[in-house]
Structures are given as C-alpha cells and as structure tokens.
Homo-oligomer: A and B are copies of this chain.
C-alpha cells in the first residue's frame, strides 16, 4: 500500500532523489566505488559540495558577500554558534519567542550574555506570532524562528530595524520566495525541505565574521568554515549529496516560485477542510498559519479512535501532534504531493459522514 508520509522531520523526500541516493551507495558516478567510501577531497565529491552550494545561492538568489556552509550538529548547534560568533562580551542579544525551538535558542544564548526576549506568544500556548514589539537598537542581533514546526505558526513578516538578523529557517527554507539580503545569518537543519538529518545549512553574510570579538573554537567559527569552503573537516558526505539532489529536483520543478504556488495550494486544501468540517479545529491563529505544518484537533475527542483507524487504513503516516501539544499535525513539506493531502482530506470528510 502506498504510504502518505506526513512526518514532521526527518520527513518526506522526492522519490527520484531516494532512487539516485540509493544507487550512489552502491556505485557513485560509475567509479566502481560507493559515494560513502571515497575521499571527501576527491574531485567527484568536491563537485557535489560545489554544486550544492551553487544551487543554494541560485535558488535563494543570494548576492555576492554570503557564504553557504554545510555543517554538522543540527539547528541545536547553531543555537550556540550564533551567540558565540555574534554576541559581544558585555553585549546584548534579542530574541523573539515563538515556540519550543526559540526557547531552546534563548536558553543557549543566555550562557553567552544578556539575552532579551522582545516578545513571546507563550501566554497562549504559542498559537500565534507576536506583533508590534520593539527591537532594542543596541542589540548585537535579533534572533527569530521563521516557522514553528510544533505549533504550526509561521512568520509572514520579519523584524526590521538596523540590527543584525539571525533566523532559524529549519522548517520552511526553500518553501517560499523571500528577500534573503534582509538576513545576516540563516540556518536550517537539512531534514525538512533539503535532505536527511546530519547536515545543517548555514548562510552567513561575510561582514559578520568575527563580530563577537570572542576567541571562537575552530569548529564553531563561521569564518573558519567559510574560508575552507565548508571542508574544514570531513563533511557529512551522504547528507550533503542528498541535499544536492533535492535542490536539483527543486530547480527542475521550477524553483522557489513554483513550489511556493504549490505549497499555498496544498495548505489551502487542508485548511479549508479544517475550517469547514465541524469535527476539526485549527490550532494556530488564522493569520499566522504555517504552510508547512498544519496543526489541528478533533472537536470531539471520542472520535479519535475512528479517525486514527481511517487514517491508518488510508496509508497515512506521521500525523500525530508533537507530544507537547497533542492533537494532529500534518507536515506538508515541498516533497509532499497534493494527492497525499487529498487522501487526508478525504479521510477527514469520511469521519464526518
């Protein structure tokens, strides 16, 4: 039976990417060797790294002056790398608190100095995005999470002002057209719209290198990785390769503009059902709804067993809500076909019959 994979991450990847990745494990580029048993300094792998970086720049329309890095450690390591690289001794960091991941980032920043929360939506269970807050002009940077995977909210506008912008874009990068020149550091764990877990995309404006003035350990220093072309040490070869394949897939399918159109269509299909079906209730404030993670609950909890059984029978996988929220979460990343969302919508309609 065909599975419909709504997993929040690691999550669905394009079938053709999986096929190519599987083949490269046996024989890469006709070398007679596996992708994962050749030197990362070989010309075949250097070509992979170069192409992955070039595709990021092309798809996101990054101008000169930005470095593209494929690091390890996930967004969680960026929670500490951001202050290590940007927060001066005696300086001040500003954070927008929109959920669990923001909170974790704030916790790590506090180890490095004064950390101000400019606004938080914790008062209503992170079901909305705060607006109308002020960013202190003397902050070393403002940090925000563009999409909140757990709560299903998404920033439609970003903080402005003359302060460095650091954004955790783990769960919606490559999903919508944005002006990346407004950001100074963008980071994203690979395992949503890019590839398997184990690689972390970091985009850094070269102007910010050394901003904190701290002695930064080599592996935590953006400048060190940028100077080495993201090959300061052995990179995570397989996750980088699969990321490259996914970015090729995205480009061949029309790039960001095309995928954004599809993503809006996909999300609307599901949100419309939630809003029109009396058995379901959306979790996030309507104006802040995420086009990547759709969170909802049953209006009548006694229907849970029936809904779960219908979903299982339809081949639907991974729609349980995060343990901290409960309910349901349908993650509908770039690689999710609209047909799978239609299957879920049909099950929701079926429940209400």
Give, as a whole number of angstroms, the nearest-CB distance from A230 to chain B: 13
What residue in chain B is nearest A34 (Cβ atoms)? B18
Whether B31 lies near A236 (C-beta < 8 A) is no
Bound Cα distance from A94 to B184, whole angstroms? 39
What residue in chain B is nearest A77 (Cβ atoms)? B219
Bound Cα distance from A76 to B218, whole angstroms? 9
A309 adjacent to chain B (CB < 8 Å): no
- Complex contacts, A198 vs chain B, CB 8 Å: 72, 198-199, 235-239
Bound Cα distance from A155 to B159, whole angstroms? 55
Instruction: Give the number of copies in the complex.
Output: 2
- Complex contacts, A116 vs chain B, CB 8 Å: none
Give, as a whole number of angstroms, the nearest-CB distance from A122 to chain B: 20
Bound Cα distance from A242 to B25, whole angstroms? 11
A18-37: CB near B (< 8 Å → 1, else 0) gives 11011101100001111011
Whether A219 lies near B11 (C-beta < 8 A) is no
Given A21-B25, A25-B25, A198-B238; A7-B80 close (CB under 8 Å): no
A79 adjacent to chain B (CB < 8 Å): yes
Whether A217 lies near B80 (C-beta < 8 A) is yes
A278 adjacent to chain B (CB < 8 Å): no
Surface stretch bound by B, among A52-60, A189-197, A204-212, A298-306: A189-197
- Residues of A contacting B: mostly: loop
A9 adjacent to chain B (CB < 8 Å): yes
**CB-contacts of A307-353 with B (<8 A):** 315, 317-318
Whether B11 lies near A37 (C-beta < 8 A) is yes
Q: Which 9 interchain pairs have the tightest Cβ spacing?
A: A198-B236, A36-B196, A72-B72, A22-B25, A80-B217, A76-B233, A3-B32, A198-B198, A197-B234
Where the two chains meet, the residues of A that have a C-beta atom closer than 8 Å to any C-beta of B are: 1-3, 5, 7-13, 18-19, 21-23, 25-26, 31-34, 36-40, 72-77, 79-80, 104, 107-108, 111, 189, 191, 195-199, 215, 217-220, 232-239, 242, 315, 317-318
